[in-house]
Amino acid sequence: METVTLSSKGQLVIPKGVRDDAHITAGSRLEVQYVDGEIRLRPLPDQKESSLEAVAGCLFKPDRKPLNDAQTQAAIRAKLKARNAP
C-alpha cells in the first residue's frame, strides 16, 4: 500500500505504479465518491466531445418521411427490446 499527502491546495499525486496499473495519464478523468468513510477514485472512459456543427444533420435523409408520435414510440420500443434481448 502506498501513502500520499494532500497539498494545501487539496491536490494529491497518484503514485506512478498505480497510474500505470489503472492506465491513467495526464488529462484522464476520474469519478470521485465518498462511500462508507472511503474516498474512491474510478477512471472514466475516454469520451470525445462533439460540437453541434460536427453532428448537425447527421440523421438527415432526403427520402425519409416524418413519423408521427405513435410510430416514433413504437420504433423506440423495438430498438430497446432488440438491444436488451439476451
pLDDT in tens, 30-85: 999 999 999 999 999 887 777 888 778 878 888 888 889 999 999 999 999 888 87
Q: How far is residue 19's CA from residue 30's CA, in Å, rounded to a whole number?
A: 12
Cell digits of residue 18: 498505480
Looking at residue 10, the DSSP 8-state letter turns out to be S
Per-domain residue ranges of the chain:
52-84
Q: Is the whole model's pTM more than 0.75, yes or no?
A: no
Q: What is the per-residue burial (b if ≥16 Cβ within 10 Å, else e) of 45-54?
A: eeeeeeeeee
